[in-house]
Structure 1
Amino acid sequence: MIGKKIFEEVSAKLSETIANSPAKDVEKNVKAMLGSAFNRMDLVTREEFDIQQQVLIKTRTKLTELEERLARLEGSQPLEQVETSDMPSATENAEQAENTENKAV
């Protein structure tokens, strides 16, 4: 127990000495300089990166679901055919235009 107490006292004294020494000031200055450099580099924090990673995962999942839904809808009767079934086809339109030109001549 006495050895542990002495170790704790020495540790506390060293921490106090380092906290009051120029080394601590140098450490603070280096941290400030690095922080400033990182801010200028437009780096993101790990937390921001993790959040964006989760957003990307959700977006990919949603995209996959929508692609599957679209494939199922395209597998059934396409909406364009349902809506345009009463309209003439492109070849019928061309024939009608040709007939109109022939009548005009």
Structure 2
Amino acid sequence: MMDPKQLDDLARRLSAAMPKGVQVLQEDLQRSMRATLEAGLSRLDLVTREEFDIQAAVLARSRAKLETLEARVAELEEAARAAKT
């Protein structure tokens, strides 16, 4: 798969090589498409990458704590069983 930065660079170079009339049409089309995409995306319940990363870190810490607590409960259950015998 091609790197998105390379695709952007290629698109810019191709755009610059187009005749002026086509470039104006392309700019109008890009603005229109961008506005349409922004409007569509604004209606979705999306989070920013930063918010996602923060929540992923919170989840990772919670999982680690849960694993620690599960191990501790297992130890205590084993100790309780051993004490009964």
TM-score under structure 1 length normalisation: 0.46
Cα shift at 1:62:
0.9
* Counterpart residue number, 1:35: 38
Cα shift at 1:73:
2.2
* Counterpart residue number, 2:29: 26
Percent of aligned pairs sharing the same letter: 41
Higher relative contact order (Cα pairs below 8 Å, separated by 6+ residues): 2
Q: Aligned to 1:62, which of 57, 61, 65?
A: 65
* Counterpart residue number, 1:83: none
Cα shift at 1:63:
0.5
Q: Which runs of 5+ in 1 are unaligned?
A: 1-10, 79-105
Q: Distance in 2 between matches of 1:33 and 1:48?
A: 24
Q: Which amino acid in 2 is paired with 1:50?
A: D
Cα shift at 1:45:
3.6
Alignment RMSD, CA only? 2.8
Q: Distance in 2 between matches of 1:71 and 1:33?
A: 55
Cα shift at 1:71:
1.7
Cα shift at 1:25:
2.3
Number of equivalent positions? 64
Q: Distance in 2 between matches of 1:51 and 1:23?
A: 38
Structure of greater Rg: 1
Deviations 1:65-95 (A, max 9, x none): 11111222232249xxxxxxxxxxxxxxxxx
* Counterpart residue number, 2:55: 52
Q: Which runs of 5+ in 2 are unaligned?
A: 1-12
